[in-house]
Amino acid sequence: MVLLMKVCQLRAEATEIPTELLACAPQCSETLPFAFILDCNDGSGFLRWDVNLGRTLWGPLRNVGPIQIAVQARPASAPTEALPLYAEIVAREPTEWCVYEPGALYWQTLGTRECDSLWVTSPKIDLLISYGETYWLQLVGFFQIGSDPYSPEGSASSPYVRCVRVRSYPSPVQRTTWNYVKQMYR
C-alpha cells in the first residue's frame, strides 16, 4: 500500500506544470532555422544563435505571479537593419501541436552586441491571466531579404536567439475556494 501511494505521488509530481523555464531550443517553431550567427567565444568555441523567423513557442508554464523574461538575443551585424523581437504570452492551450495563436504582447528587444552580458532581461511583468492558469511564451521574429538576396544590403532582421529564461516571482496571494474561506471564519 505504501509503495502504491509513493508511485502515485511521484506520478503527480512528474505531471505538475513548471513555473519557470530555461531552454535553448523552442518546443515548437513555425519555420526551421535557415540562418545562424557564430560569435562570442566562451573558451570552448563560438556560441551559436539561430534566426527567429515567425513564431516560436515555449511552455506550458503555470502563472504564480509576476515574471521576468530573459533572452540571449544577438542582432545581425551591419548593414542589416534591426527589427524587434516580440515576447508574447499565449493563454490558450494549443488545439493541436504547433498550432499558432496570436498572443498578448508584453515585451520587445533588439538584443545585445556585448559578449560579456549575453542576456537581455525584461522588467517584471504582471500577466493578465489568473494565478494557477497555464500559459505559453511565444517569441515572434522577422526577417526581410534586401533587393539582392546574396548581399546583406537592404536586409532587416529581428535578433537571433540562443536561449530563453522565464523566472517567476510567486505572489503571496494564493488561490483558494469559497468553502475554505467560510471555514476559516466559523
Reported confidence tier of residue 164, pLDDT bands at 50, 70, 90: very high
User: Cβ–Cβ contacts within 10 Å for residue 103, how many?
Assistant: 21
Q: In order of start, what are the domains of the chain with their CATH numbers?
A: 38-174 (2.60.120)
Q: Global pTM?
A: 0.78
- Summarize pLDDT for 68-92 with one digit per residue, the tens: 999 999 888 776 788 999 999 998 7
